[in-house]
Chains A and B, each alone.
Chain A
Amino acid sequence: MDLVLQLLFTGIGIGAVYALVALGFVLIFRATNVVNFAQGEFSMVAAYLMVVFSVDLGWPYWLSFLIALAGMALFGVIFNLGVYYPLRHRTYLPVIIATIGASILLSNSVLAIYGPQPQVLQGWFDTPGIQLGPVYLDSQYLLIIGVTILLVLFNFWFFEKTLLGKKLQATSQDKEMASLLGISVSTMIMITFIYSAVLGGLAGILVAPVLFVSIQMGSTIALKAFAATIIGGFGDVAGAIVGGLALGVIETFGAAYISVPYKDGFAFLVLIAFLVFRPQGIFGERVAEKA
């Protein structure tokens, strides 16, 4: 029982990272109808920004954290203007290919600068963790879970309670109609890219002390997050979060009870099962394409 609780904690911790990246996937998909294959590289770039500010320049951790996030917001702007905006009137295919191209460009640029050896990033706290009864709570996982809870609450408030959130939803549901109402579609899509880049960046920074900072970290996380969006129900915000958490828990338990080397395999086994038996995911398509 103790082990189960311990694994549940770790699983939710890593699942929260998948959930944040999955949320970024879903938000961009809903706004642009395109899967952003560079979503994982958002996390990777942010983790390297942390290495630059916190390790190389030796700035305080909190300052590096804030500047890295601001850097990711700027990165979202550049990504939108460079990758999506020029192709916005084309079909989804050129845009998807452009995101794949951006993903390759980003990982190889970082490779050229930092080389292939992984970098190490310290966690936020000096204390490694706390013992709570039978469960050892790793401080970094606690931070990840705490930040994810805050972000999910923020996300709900932003999209459900603010007029800007409603305009973003309207834009993702019918761009032409949104523009007829005077909603600036290009501004809404810009906001979506900034928000997704910050979300992905946050996930990368938070998970970096748990994993290593490497050019592959983005693609590993993104693949899991993508699986999470399908498990949760593609395009569904709640589905992305639930799917991410579920995937984290499943692979942690799989690794502990069945096989450690096949840890990544469990996630994809679940994905395949969903694609075969419930392709619409946990939450399915709740909103019809056309009313």
Chain B
Amino acid sequence: MPLLEIRNLVVRYGEIEALRGVTIAVEQGQVVTLLGANGAGKSTTLRAISGLAKPASGDILFDGHSIAGLGPEAIVRLGISHVPEGRRVFPGLTVKENIMLGASNRKVGASQISREADAMFDLFPDIRAFSNALGWTLSGGQLQMVAVARGLMAKPRLLLLDEPSLGLAPVIVQAVFRIISQIRKDTTVLLVEQNARMGLSVADHGFVLETGRIVLGGKPDELWGNEAIAAAYLGGHAKSHA
């Protein structure tokens, strides 16, 4: 049984149908990458999984149980952690406080959370020095590290990562992806990327979304091998972003 299974998911924003019957499966222990152009529905898929967007029809199964229609607070308690587009680090809280709040889905004491947050800096040494800096003072790459560290504090069984490379310098993008390949040892990851080359480099499986539909799915080398697709969705974007 897959850890996450999405069946015929339809999500509407008012009149607009953002997802028009998306079906994907994420197996336990995998990194699965969702590729596609702007507006294809990648973020909407993640928002539907984490409960920010309500499905109009279709189903989302986590560990075999339907989570479609649950609120975000309930879904993160089940073990799905969403690191959304734009990082959304709380600007008026410090780095450490931001990371500590990532454990809000678990019932653990403040001192335990503080110790876990300190341990998180072992995985993200670049932000250790900024532990007491306020969120708004950080650079894009630092914000991304904080956002991922905060997402991991939930001890998720499934981590949803939305465009972790967006707006970052190539060297920072590589650092972020090194972390993703470290995370994957313990956590299943569903990754959304425009940067196809980076996105597929860490993936076990990839899906390509186009205007709210999955048009292609397969192992990374199969996706690279499909020439028309590679040119349209992978090569072009990889060149312009990598």
Contact = CB atoms under 8 A, between A and B. Distances in A.
Q: Do A and B come from one complex?
A: yes
Interface of A: 162-163, 166-167, 169-170, 173-174, 176-185, 287-288, 290-291
Contacts of B77: 182
Nearest to B88: A177
A291 B113 contact: no
Q: In the complex, which of the residues B72, B76, B90, B154 has the most CB atoms of chain A within 10 Å of its own CB atom?
A: B90
Contacts of A170: 90, 93, 101
Contacts of A287: 91-92, 134, 136
Contact of A183 (B50, B92, B101): B101
7 contacts: A176-B84, A176-B88, A180-B52, A182-B105, A183-B73, A291-B138, A291-B143
A174 B100 contact: no
Interface string B78-117: 0001101001111111000100111011100010010000
Contacts, number: 78
B87 to A, nearest CB: 8
Nearest to B109: A163
A180 B136 CA distance: 20
B90 A173 contact: yes
B110 A163 contact: yes
Nearest to B143: A291
A179 B82 CA distance: 10
Nearest to B134: A287
Nearest to B74: A182
A166 B101 contact: yes
B154 A182 contact: yes
Nearest to B52: A176
A169 B90 contact: yes
B135 interface: yes
A139 B122 CA distance: 56
Interface residues of B, number: 33
Contacts of B135: 291
A154 B150 CA distance: 28
B71 interface: yes
Nearest to A287: B92
A288 B104 contact: no
A167 B101 contact: yes
B91 A181 contact: no
Given A181-B104, A182-B76, A287-B136, A169 B93 contact: yes
Contacts of B104: 167, 178, 181-183
Contacts of B101: 163, 166-167, 170, 178, 181, 183
Given A183-B101, A291-B135, A291-B138, A173 B92 contact: yes
A113 B142 CA distance: 59
A181 B102 CA distance: 6
A163 B91 CA distance: 16
A291 B100 contact: no
Contacts of B91: 173, 287-288, 290-291
B142 to A, nearest CB: 11
Interface in B29-84: 50, 52, 71-73, 76-77, 81-82, 84
Contacts of B90: 169-170, 173-174, 177
Contacts of A177: 84, 88, 90
B154 A181 contact: yes
A184 B72 CA distance: 9
Q: Closest 5 interchain pairs by CB?
A: A182-B105, A177-B88, A291-B136, A182-B76, A291-B91
B76 A181 contact: yes
A163 B102 CA distance: 11
Give the one of A180, A183, A291 with max B CB within 10 A. A180
Contacts of A185: 73
Given A169-B93, A183-B101, 17 more contacts: A176-B72, A177-B84, A177-B90, A178-B104, A179-B71, A180-B72, A180-B81, A181-B76, A181-B102, A182-B77, A183-B73, A287-B92, A287-B134, A287-B136, A288-B91, A290-B91, A291-B135
Contacts of A290: 91
A163 B113 CA distance: 10
Nearest to A187: B73
A180 B50 contact: yes
Contacts of A173: 90-93
A158 to B, nearest CB: 13
Contacts of B52: 176, 179-180
Contacts of B97: 166
A283 to B, nearest CB: 13
Contacts of B84: 176-177, 180
